[in-house]
Amino acid sequence: MNILVTGGAGYIGSHTAIALLEAKHSVIIADNLCNSSSGTIRKIESITGKKVTFYEMDVTVEEAVESLFKTHSIDAVIHFAGLKSVGESVEKPLNYYSNNMISTLNLAKMCLKYGVNRFVFSSSATVYGDNIVPFEESMNLLPATNPYGETKVMCERILTDLAHANPAFSVSLLRYFNPIGAHESGLIGEVPNGVPNNLMPYITQVAKGKLAKLRVFGNDYPTADGTGLRDYIHVVDLAEGHVAALENLIEGVHTHNLGTGNGTSVLELVNAFEEANRIHVPYEVVGRRPGDIAVCYADVSKAARELGWKAKRNINDMCRDAWRFEVHNGTGKTT
Ligand code: NAD
Ligand code: WQD
């Protein structure tokens, strides 16, 4: 298939572009590089030995998106492009609503106009809010506590309505849990903007000596060691989940959790990182971070049953690959 990958220069999009190319699909990337760099495109090509068609463009600009659909015969869209920082979304809600909603609306509109019937959307476990674990796709979504989460709920809703109104349309809503790690080549991975908000990039930067120590946000949660529990998934497993979702996509709306089904606490992740890489990660326990939930992990049985996909890599692999990337590439944007 000829696949339009928006946000394909970013963290998850770049790993997915590699997985798609390895599965013999063709990839067209559209990215405005607001959180990535064009060097990633060359790295995708050097890892796979295949050519990528790249457009530096903002997918909130309807004419730009339309010109893509006119120029290329597109079979499917995987829409990663979006802003993703929860904290920033609280400070700048309009940026989040306009970027994340308008990009999705533009792409959906052009899919209808040009007869592109396959759409895969990057959603998030954040749509489950503080439900009872494990989170199942059939659960009622709880109101998001931040604009970022709202955009995910709203985009899911728009794409669902669109598929209901157009029976030939196929939509895959993929709810990612906590992607970490990097490509095993060490060439691509995640470089956060400024001081990281997320746990793994914070750990790698402490290990590298860029930050003094990790702050563990709370050790009084109802978990075995009192720290928050998350379902960390290797980004390459996540990428492979997209190929499975795309290749098994049929008419209608299909929602799948992409996680491992296992919960790992903050301190367990720190210990696993220290063991995998034989490096010390100093930390101190501080108060809870506002908005955090105690426990979040997926029921992954639907993805296994319907997509024939399961995460294969373990916490040790995630820690090793995250550190390899930090050691080799810990500066610059995304690559
Ligand atoms: P990322 O920031 O690394 O990648 C997003 C890419 O989209 C970047 O390259 C950025 O330059 C591009 N982009 C943003 N707005 C754009 C626009 N208007 N036009 C063109 N390009 C634009 O983020 P990521 O971690 O790879 O996340 C990808 C998607 O997955 C996002 O939609 C995010 O919300 C979602 N998601 C991420 C996580 C996570 O923990 N990383 C979890 C759940 C869902
Ligand atoms: C994990 C655990 C923290 C940093 C976020 C988004 C979510 C999704 C994935 C996009 C928690 C603890 C963290 C630190 C810590 N993204 N922690 N010290 O919050 O589960 O999910 O990213 O959709 O929407 O909210 O991920 O990596 O920030 O936190 O103790 O410096 O690590 O309290 O228990 P989170 P995270």
Q: What is the tens place of the pLDDT at every residue in 275-313?
A: 999 999 999 999 999 999 999 999 999 999 999 999 999
Task: Provide the 8-state DSSP code for 222.
Answer: S
Instruction: Give the pLDDT band (50/70/90) at residue 145.
Output: confident
On whether residue 198 sits in a domain, the answer given is no
Q: Is 154 helix (H, G, I), strand (E, B) or coil?
A: helix
User: Does 198 score more than 80 pLDDT?
Assistant: yes
Residue 102 lies in domain: 2-181+233-259
Whether residue 14 has its Cβ less than 6 Å from ligand 1 = no
On whether residue 101 sits in a domain, the answer given is yes
Alpha helices, DSSP H only, in 166-255? 199-208, 235-247
Residue nearest to atom 6 of ligand 1 (CA): 7
- CATH number, domain with residue 47: 3.40.50.720
Residues in the ligand 2 pocket, defined by CB under 6 Å: 84, 86, 124, 126, 178, 197-199, 202, 214-217, 228, 230, 266, 289, 292, 296
On whether residue 311 sits in a domain, the answer given is no
User: Does 178 score more than 50 pLDDT?
Assistant: yes
Alpha helices, DSSP H only, in the chain? 11-22, 39-48, 62-71, 86-91, 93-113, 147-165, 199-208, 235-247, 266-277, 301-307, 315-329
Among the options 148, 221, 232, 297, which is catalytic?
A: 148
- Residues 29 and 74: their CA atoms lie apart, in Å, by 12
On whether residue 39 sits in a domain, the answer given is yes
- Residues 248 and 308: their CA atoms lie apart, in Å, by 9
Q: Is 186 helix (H, G, I), strand (E, B) or coil?
A: coil
Contact in structure between 175 and 256 (CB atoms under 8 Å): yes
Please provide the DSSP assignment of 191-212 as one string: --SSS--SHHHHHHHHHHTSSS
Instruction: Give the pLDDT band (50/70/90) at residue 333.
Output: very low
- Which among 292, 295, 296, 315 is the best mutation to test ligand 2's pocket, defined by most ligand atoms within 8 Å of the CB? 292
Q: Where are the beta strands (DSSP E) in 62-177?
A: 76-79, 118-124, 170-176
Q: What percent of the chain has pLDDT over 70?
A: 98
How confident is the model over 229-254, as a mean pLDDT?
98
Residue type for position 255: T
Tell me the CA–centroid distance for residue 223 and ligand 1, in Å. 30
Could you report the per-residue pLDDT of 61-112, keeping only the tens digit for each? Answer: 999 999 999 999 999 999 999 999 999 999 999 999 999 999 999 999 999 9
On whether residue 335 sits in a domain, the answer given is no
Which among 271, 302, 249 is positioned nearest to 78, based on CA atoms?
Answer: 249
Examine the residue annotation and report whether 297 is marked as an active-site residue of this protein.
no
- Domain count of the fold of the chain: 1
Q: Which atom of ligand 1 is nearest to the CA of 57?
A: 20
Tell me the CA–centroid distance for residue 84 and ligand 1, in Å. 6
Q: What angle do CA 201, 194, 38 make, to 5 degrees?
A: 85
- Residues 138 and 253: their CA atoms lie apart, in Å, by 12
| Confidence at residue 324, expressed as pLDDT on a 0 to 100 scale | 98
On whether residue 76 sits in a domain, the answer given is yes
Whether residue 84 has its Cβ less than 6 Å from ligand 1 = yes
On whether residue 54 sits in a domain, the answer given is yes
Could you report the per-residue pLDDT of 25-67, keeping only the tens digit for each? Answer: 999 999 999 999 999 999 999 999 999 999 999 999 999 999 9
User: Does 335 score more than 60 pLDDT?
Assistant: no
Q: Dihedral (C-alpha) 49, 51, 56, 60: value to the nearest 10 degrees?
A: -110
Span between the terminal Cα atoms of the chain, in Å: 26
Whether residue 334 has its Cβ less than 6 Å from ligand 1 = yes
On whether residue 226 sits in a domain, the answer given is no
| Confidence at residue 330, expressed as pLDDT on a 0 to 100 scale | 57
Q: What percent of the chain has pLDDT over 90?
A: 95
Instruction: Give the pLDDT band (50/70/90) at residue 250.
Output: very high
